[in-house]
A and B are shown apart, each in its own frame.
Chain A
Amino acid sequence: MAESPFKENIERVAKEYSEKMTPGAIATIPGSSVINKTGSWRVFVPEFNRDKCTRCFLCYIYCPEPAIYLDEENYPVFDYDYCKGCGICANECPVDAIVMVRETK
């Protein structure tokens, strides 16, 4: 999975944020939003069938988060830390390679 280009910044933000309040609570280093793992809001989760997938990238393009990366062979990979379970990818997939299932933890 591709790594966030902000990884180093994010770690610094997380540290600085917990240590020092800036005037106006300004976040002075970009990438802080990546710390918030929005995946926790999810009820449904995309289930991916690699055999059906045609690698058309529609899911990758439409994911609003974007929680879909592409692997070395250009198959979609879902980042469940940020996937909010909206189901857009499943809806867009022309060959039903993605289905939304209720997530049970």
Chain B
Amino acid sequence: MPIRTVMKANEAAAWAAKLAKPKVIAAFPITPSTLVPEKISEFVANGELDAEFIKVESEHSAISACVGASAAGVRTFTATASQGLALMHEVLFIAAGMRLPIVVAVGNRSLSAPINIWNDWQDSISERDTGWLQFYAENNQEALDLILIAFKVAENEKVLLPAMVGFDAFILTHTVEPVEIPDQEVVDEFLGEYEPKHAYLDPERPITQGTLAFPAHYMEARYTVWEANENAKKVIDEVFEEFEKKFGRKYRKVEEYRTEDAEIVFVTMGSLAGTVKEYVDHLREQGIKAGAAKLTVYRPFPIEEVRELAKKAKVIALLEKNVTFSVGGALFQDFSRALINEKEKPIILDFILGLGGRDVTFQNLDEVLEISRKALNGEKVDEVNWIGLRKEIL
């Protein structure tokens, strides 16, 4: 029987790792995800998880150790956030290029300076071009589930890419919520043991990994990472389906909420999706045709699903906790790319909010609504809007 309990997202992530039975975990503590490796080291120390826990001297070493372990052919896991993820940056490219299915739990936190330990998505959003798959959890249950899903997708032969699962700093990492811990046997059935086909250590089969590639081969190597990302789109759908059959919880790359006949659709990721769904309910009560959508999968970017969503809306309001300078937010860029050549397309508006852990309130969302309604009525509005910005202190 699955255990119903309450726990923080950090603990849920550690539990997911335990259930996935990685052979190597290498991690360095950083707020807000410190509890993940702490909990895992406890599992290992208690003999509940048969794995090598490597204590390293930095995040760069943590991910490097994971690359080494994964290249040797075992399931590998780590957790980090913010500057820690940034410190992993160069190795993230290596993991993707070597096609190593490492899974990293990211407690989504802002980047310095100024130092801020609270939530936004700038850390993982900044790694969107490394080739890694990216999942974003709305709640603690999703943090657990998506890590299991991430392993399954990452290890698929058509994919073989590393994956990160983001869950919002403090809003999730340190908040206790009901979580269902699935049965080990069912997880075993779902995931199976990792059987490396391309990268493993065997003296009988000498290979060179992380090779030098001259101009004659580098481009093709990069293309295979592109292709693997494309393949992941279908594989993710299949894994979501299998997950639903085994565990009863349903996931979609783009989860829509009350989008039928919606004129304005608010699109977001992570825990903010919960707030936005509440807000949409509140608007619907007033007869306002609003809907919401949540991106559970950000890389590969779900272009087809976004196009389907766009057909239903007159205004797409993107709510983003990240900045892409002179563009707006990363989602704005991605949505523009997805829709630019469509014949009929909605107005796309970008709203930057909640940076560095600032609360996103209904009042903030009222502002978003007001701007969206103006645009709907044909009035000219800014494409990029900073919501909740305290202009008076500038």
Which A residues contact B (CB, under 8 angstroms)?
17-18, 21-30, 32-33, 36
Contacts and interface: CB of A to CB of B under 8 A. Distances in A.
Contact of A24 (B98, B205, B217): B98
A17 B217 contact: yes
14 contacts: A23-B199, A24-B97, A24-B99, A24-B160, A24-B198, A24-B209, A25-B98, A25-B217, A25-B221, A26-B208, A26-B209, A26-B211, A32-B208, A36-B212
B211 A21 contact: no
B230 to A, nearest CB: 14
Contacts of A21: 217, 220-221, 224
Contacts of A36: 212
A28 B198 CA distance: 9
Interface residues of B, number: 20
A24 B100 contact: yes
Of listed A27, A29, A33, residue having the most chain B CB within 10 A: A27
A30 to B, nearest CB: 4
Q: Is the interface of B mostly helix, strand, loop or mixed?
A: loop
9 tightest CB-CB pairs across the interface, nearest first? A24-B99, A27-B208, A25-B221, A24-B98, A30-B206, A23-B198, A23-B99, A21-B220, A27-B211
Contacts, number: 48
Contacts of B206: 30
A25 B198 contact: no
Contacts of B198: 22-24, 26
Nearest to B216: A18
Contacts of B217: 17, 21, 25
B47 to A, nearest CB: 34
Given A25-B211, A36-B212, 4 more contacts: A23-B224, A24-B198, A26-B98, A28-B205
B213 A24 contact: no
Nearest to B160: A23
B207 interface: yes
A36 B221 CA distance: 19
A25 B199 contact: no
A27 B283 CA distance: 58
Contacts of B100: 24
Contacts of A27: 207-209, 211
B179 to A, nearest CB: 35
B224 A30 contact: no
A18 B217 CA distance: 8
B156 to A, nearest CB: 12
B257 to A, nearest CB: 38
A68 B206 CA distance: 26
Of listed A26, A30, A33, residue having the most chain B CB within 10 A: A26
Interface string B174-211: 00000000000000000000000011000001111101
Contacts of B205: 28
A36 B212 CA distance: 10
Contacts of A32: 208, 211
